[in-house]
Homo-oligomer: A and B are copies of this chain.
Amino acid sequence: MEKIYLDHASAMPIDPRVLEFTSKYLKGLGNPSSLHSVGLEAKRAIEGAKGKVADLINAESERTIIFTSCATESNNLGIKGTALRNAGKGKKVVTSAIEHMSVLNPMKELQKNGFELTIVPVDSNGMVDLEELESALTKNTTVTSIMYANNEIGTVEPIKEIGELVHEKGLYLHVDGTAAAGHIPIDVQKDGIDLLTLSSNDLYGPQGAGALYVKPGVVLQPVLPGGGQERGLRSGTENLFSIAGMGEAARIAKNEMEKESGRMLKIRDELIEKILEIEESHLTGHPKKRLPHHASFRFSRIEGESILLNMDTTYGIQVATGSACSSKTLEPSHVLLAIGLKHEEAHGSMVLTLGRSNTPEQVPTIVNGVKETVQRLREISPL
């Protein structure tokens, strides 16, 4: 049985080209903060990686990139580091109801520490309600955090318009670009983004690296103070293997994005068309404004966990349900509840995220697996 991997949203394989590029850094080049020759070579590797990440998002220079250990840390730094450092200008923060937990939870931590927090709702397609956003923004709003695209339902938010609203009244726009980067173009300058979170592993890079773009002039404080690496904003000896890998992954993503996204879009549309032939099946997220590699569904009367397990054991097809982070709690996804689904509707979700290994030839196998799985689970369902 050919294994088909359709869970590229949170744990992608490393691109073999990335691995080849960065494997030399597993040999131990030394500490980039050291002055001896191996230390200097390590430092140059980090600067090179920053240049490549900056290129992917059209940042002003490689100096705008701060490497962290993952997207969760970048979100924490971008949100808490900025809100706390700018607390003198106001103690209000704003976000949306469908953000990743690594945005929502830092926001709630700020709220516990005396910040006012407004969580803006989204419509049934997962689009942020711009009127509600506008009315939430005040002159005291120092940080607004809205994701570029949602990892569970694929919806792409109107970041440019959001940036304009934020900058009219507020101070800084933080954007979680984890799900979008490498799939659709992000231009921090045109999009009006002040802080942007990126994840190595979501770009076919190694785990262990994330990045935070910080627009020149934006001031923030570290979440992990220490030896003062990364301009004092992220201490700890740099994870050279993952950082150099993230840089190379960003370079490849930039080069191949247009072609790959076009290729995946066709597979995605065929999957959506054929899977929606199943009775009582629904697309979740926006039908048009969605990530090119992302197809997400819900099926009535069955459980997402059962879909996932049956697809895996019977068909060798790895899919996701809800967010990986909430998978283990078995609670319905907060994203699906936020787009207006009832608890029982939110439970029957399946998320397919395409990657470089997927081909159009896999579509019939996938569609057949989904159809038979849904049918079988409905037969044994007590609902």
Residues of A that sit less than 8 Å from B by CB: 7, 10-14, 19, 26-31, 33-39, 42, 69-73, 75-76, 100-102, 105-106, 108-109, 201, 206-209, 223-229, 235-242, 305, 308-309, 311-313, 318-321, 323-329
- B226 touching A309, Cβ below 8 Å: no
Q: Which residues of B contact A70 (CB under 8 A)?
A: 69, 236-237, 239
- A11 touching B35, Cβ below 8 Å: no
- B226 touching A36, Cβ below 8 Å: no
Q: Which residues of B contact A323 (CB under 8 A)?
A: 227
A328 to B313, CA, bound (A): 53
Closest Cβ neighbor of A31 among chain B residues: B11
Closest Cβ neighbor of A77 among chain B residues: B224
User: Could you say how many copies of this chain the assembly holds?
Assistant: 2
Q: Which residues of B contact A329 (CB under 8 A)?
A: 228
Minimum C-beta distance from A228 to chain B (A): 6
Residue among B11, B12, B224, B327 making CB contact with A72, cutoff 8 Å: B224
A236 to B73, CA, bound (A): 7
- B28 touching A226, Cβ below 8 Å: no
Q: Which residues of B contact A29 (CB under 8 A)?
A: 11
A75 to B222, CA, bound (A): 14
- A105 touching B235, Cβ below 8 Å: yes
A227 to B312, CA, bound (A): 24
Give the interface centre of A226, A241, A312 by most chain B CB atoms within 10 Å: A226
Closest Cβ neighbor of A71 among chain B residues: B236
- A225 touching B31, Cβ below 8 Å: no
Q: Known contacts being A73-B69, A309-B36, is A31 close to B324, with CB within 8 Å?
A: yes
Q: Known contacts being A224-B76, A225-B76, is A206 close to B241, with CB within 8 Å?
A: yes
Q: Known contacts being A30-B7, A308-B36, is A72 close to B14, with CB within 8 Å?
A: no
Minimum C-beta distance from A80 to chain B (A): 9
- B72 touching A26, Cβ below 8 Å: no
Minimum C-beta distance from A225 to chain B (A): 4
